Structure 1
Amino acid sequence: MQAAATGRRPALVGARRHRRRAEAAQDLLAGRPTTHPELVAFKDWDQVREHSTQDDASGNLQVLVKLIDEHSPEQIIRMVGGLVDERSADVVISRPTKLRAASGTAFGSPGTSANPDSTRSPARQS
């Protein structure tokens, strides 16, 4: 979100997946069931929040709850809609595991980051 706010042309690896998760959260926040495979077991967003605090909750679920609660599903959907294709981007935003898959470099190699939200310039791709 910061990259777009500063006038950059960002791309997000897995943008469609993030949009679908935000749409599912939007349904659950409105009290509607969702068919999203990661969230279908929950009847509302409060259940998702509660489960995300449990020891067995995945880190991905915790990140999703934080993003939705801090930014709203609508804001995430708008942001994803404003992204560009990776080939047109001046910055590509990714989790480290996605960064590795997208760049073909090993995690921890130059150009990668241990931060949960990494960025890389398309010019640095191998």
Structure 2
Amino acid sequence: MLGPKMFYSLVFALSVAAINIDSSPGDPDFYNTVAEIYSGPDCGTESFVWADPIFGRGGRCQPLDRNDNTPDILSYKPTTIYPDCNVTLYTDSECQSTAYLVEVDQCVQAGIPFVSAFVQCPFSDTLA
């Protein structure tokens, strides 16, 4: 039986899938990655916060907490990554700290909170 948090995560993932039908890769509203974020170590069920998307064309450093309403992200587990996209997490806001490459269904943690992500996709703007 699904707990309330997992139920809402599933509902969110399904709604993301529905949204993605109307948008296409490279659109600003396209979710290139969806991940479960956790306020504790090891992607433990007890510290699950919510499923969170990374959207847009990629090719730039972007904050994980876009609305200033997310607890510290101590572990991160992608549920979907658009094909041929690479997702890297950072513990600073400029994507200059140690890079943590993430893969679908793999829990990633750094020992300190993740702050930013950099997604590179075939449709990303090229960096100057």
Q: When the two structures are superposed, what TM-score results if normalisation uses the length of structure 2?
A: 0.24
Which one has the bigger helix percentage? 1
Q: When the two structures are superposed, what TM-score results if normalisation uses the length of structure 1?
A: 0.24
Structure with more relative contact order (C-alpha pairs < 8 Å, separation 6 or more):
1
Which one has the bigger strand percentage? 2
